[in-house]
């Protein structure tokens, strides 16, 4: 059953030189209990997408178009107080990247968990809320008495567990985990991920797991959405994204994490820089960095194509899957000088546009 249904969502930031299209026409739906990973480079719009869901956006951001339906309720149309009372934390909670900074330093972790429980549940007494905090701590592998500790008394991994306790205190239907383990070292990272998975299974919560680390999503997610330049350019079940992706960007990302398809492969990175999100113009946003770009790629924005089983790809050449996969595995393919528009008419066009604007 569909829990969250995002359709054609556009969340833009107002900036000096125009609108930053951080989430640009994104559609994504999530089932109850499902874990969806959002992967992509820094600045691709993962956080913006997640925060749009609970409308936790900065003042200069605006949801310009599209809809976010949560369990049948249209979130973009709720008043602030409906949003706070009906959805925030009781239905949708979040785990931030740095848990240590996610707690208010002047209150104990327990006080903060009790506060949010009691705000959302009228009938719960302080003692009951406290007891729940203690048992959550216990389940997450923290000594229950530590609910009386202040955040600064926790280690990084411990604070992250405490943050998970906070996020799960009201058994939400959806948890937004924004790089929940990036701040931790690798060993602790794995254990935290396991804990998150275990708790999420128990509560049957859905989760959006944001990361730029392919190996994290491959371990934890049912489905993976690859985000590039404010758009989901490929989405499929985790297995397909790892073993049988069709989009050149996904193929490139996969190269950057060689250990996940244990081919004993060399680390190859994608040359170039993330795309301009102000006035991106027509054409595939990945074209300037794509070794497979053709004339059409520069002119026409690719539409999502379906390849069965919920596998959707935004690429003009996604049909040539064998060629793409073979070539993308070679280091020569990704050499910088081979990439870019051959006779580069874009440069001229861009200058011409700037001039005509004046």
Ligand X SMILES: Nc1ncnc2c1ncn2[C@@H]1O[C@H](COP(=O)(O)OP(=O)(O)OP(=O)(O)O)[C@@H](O)[C@H]1O
- The 268-297 site mask, x for binding ligand X (CB under 6 A), equals ---------x--------------------
Picked from another protein, ligand X, Mg ion, none, the partner binding residue 13 (CB below 5 to 8 A depending on kind) is ligand X
Picked from ligand X, another protein, ligand SF4, none, the partner binding residue 85 (CB below 5 to 8 A depending on kind) is another protein
Query: How near is the Cβ of 56 to another protein at its closest, in Å?
Result: 5
Residue partners of 113: CB distance under 8 A and separation at least 6: 129, 132, 133, 136, 147, 165, 166, 169
Q: What angle do CA 118, 5, 285 make, to 5 degrees?
A: 120
Binding flag, residue 302, ligand SF4 (CB under 6 A): yes
User: Residue 278 gets which letter from DSSP?
Assistant: B
Closer CB to ligand SF4, residue 216 or residue 290? 290
Query: How near is the Cβ of 112 to ligand X at its closest, in Å?
Result: 24
Q: Which of 31, 56, 182, 304 binds another protein (CB under 8 A)?
A: 56
Residues 82-141 that bind another protein (CB under 8 A): 83-85, 87-90, 93-94, 96, 98, 101-106, 115-116, 119-120
Binding flag, residue 284, ligand SF4 (CB under 6 A): yes
Answer yes or no: are the C-beta atoms of 317 and 325 closer than 8 Å. no
Q: In whole angstroms, give the CA distance from residue 117 to residue 124.
A: 8
* CA end-to-end span of the chain: 52
Query: How near is the Cβ of 235 to ligand SF4 at its closest, in Å?
Result: 15
Q: Which residue has the tokens 């935290």?
A: 192
Q: Name the phi and psi angles at 60, rounded to 5.
A: -85, 5
Closer CB to ligand X, residue 15 or residue 352? 15
Closer CB to another protein, residue 147 or residue 318? 147
Closer CB to ligand SF4, residue 87 or residue 233? 233
Query: How near is the Cβ of 231 to ligand X at its closest, in Å?
Result: 12
Q: Where is 2: in which H helix or E strand?
A: strand 2-15
Q: What are the CA-CA distances from residue 160 to residues 100, 202, 297 (Å)?
A: 7, 19, 43
Answer yes or no: are the C-beta atoms of 272 and 325 closer than 8 Å. no
Q: Which stretch binds ligand SF4 (CB under 6 A): 50-58, 263-271, 284-292, 350-358?
A: 284-292
Q: Where is 193: in which H helix or E strand?
A: helix 186-203
Q: Which of 4, 37, 47, 112 binds ligand X (CB under 6 A)?
A: 47
* DSSP β-ladder status, 223-228 and 231-237: antiparallel
Picked from another protein, ligand SF4, Mg ion, none, the partner binding residue 102 (CB below 5 to 8 A depending on kind) is another protein
Binding flag, residue 42, ligand X (CB under 6 A): yes
CA proximity to 155, closest of 138, 143, 170: 143
Q: Which of 152, 282, 308, 322 binds another protein (CB under 8 A)?
A: 152
- For the chain, what's the residue count? 358
Orientation angle between helical segments 248-256 and 321-328, nearest 10 degrees: 30
Closer CB to another protein, residue 82 or residue 239? 82
Contacts of 111-114 with C-beta under 8 Å, sequence gap 24+, read 112/166, 113/147, 113/165, 113/166, 113/169
Closer CB to ligand SF4, residue 46 or residue 285? 285
Query: How near is the Cβ of 292 to ligand SF4 at its closest, in Å?
Result: 4
Query: How near is the Cβ of 151 to another protein at its closest, in Å?
Result: 8
Q: In whole angstroms, give the CA distance from residue 1 to residue 318.
A: 30
Q: Which residues bind another protein (CB under 8 A)?
A: 54, 56, 59, 83-85, 87-90, 93-94, 96, 98, 101-106, 115-116, 119-120, 150, 152, 166
Q: Which residues bind ligand SF4 (CB under 6 A)?
A: 248, 284, 286-287, 290, 292-293, 297, 302, 315-317
Q: Which residues bind Mg ion (CB under 5 A)?
A: 47
């Amino acid at each position: 059953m569909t829990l969250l249904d995002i359709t054609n969502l556009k969340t833009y930031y107002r900036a000096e030189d125009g609108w930053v299209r951080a989430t640009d026409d994104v559609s994504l739906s999530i089932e109850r209990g499902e874990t969806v990973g959002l992967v992509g480079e820094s600045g691709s719009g993962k956080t913006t997408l997640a925060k749009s869901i609970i409308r936790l956006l900065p003042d200069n951001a605006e949801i310009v178009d599209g809809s976010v339906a949560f369990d049948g309720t249209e979130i973009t149309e709720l008043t602030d107080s409906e949003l706070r009372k009906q959805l925030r934390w009781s239905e949708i909670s979040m785990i931030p990247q740095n848990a240590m900074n996610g707690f208010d330093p002047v209150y104990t972790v327990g006080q903060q968990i009790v506060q949010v429980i009691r705000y959302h549940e009228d009938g719960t007494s302080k003692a009951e809320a406290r007891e729940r905090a203690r048992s959550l701590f216990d389940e997450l592998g923290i000594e229950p008495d530590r609910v009386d500790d202040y955040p600064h008394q926790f280690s990084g991994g411990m604070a992250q567990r405490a943050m998970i306790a906070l996020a799960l205190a009201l058994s939400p239907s959806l948890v937004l985990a924004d790089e929940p383990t990036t701040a931790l070292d690798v060993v602790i990272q794995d254990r935290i991920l396991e804990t998150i998975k275990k708790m999420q299974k128990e509560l049957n919560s859905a989760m959006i797991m944001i990361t730029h680390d392919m190996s994290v999503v491959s371990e934890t997610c049912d489905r993976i959405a690859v985000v590039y330049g404010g758009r989901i350019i490929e989405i499929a079940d985790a297995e397909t994204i790892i073993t049988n992706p069709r989009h050149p960007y996904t193929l490139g990302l996969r190269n950057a994490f060689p250990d996940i398809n244990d081919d004993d492969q060399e680390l190859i990175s994608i040359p170039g820089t993330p795309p301009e999100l102000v006035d991106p113009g027509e054409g595939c946003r990945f074209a300037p960095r794509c070794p497979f770009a053709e004339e059409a790629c520069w002119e026409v924005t690719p539409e999502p194509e379906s390849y069965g089983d919920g596998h959707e790809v935004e690429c003009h050449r996604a049909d040539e899957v064998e060629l793409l996969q073979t070539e993308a595995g070679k280091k020569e393919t990704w050499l910088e000088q081979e990439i870019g528009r051959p006779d580069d008419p874009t440069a001229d066009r861009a200058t011409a546009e700037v001039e005509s604007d004046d």
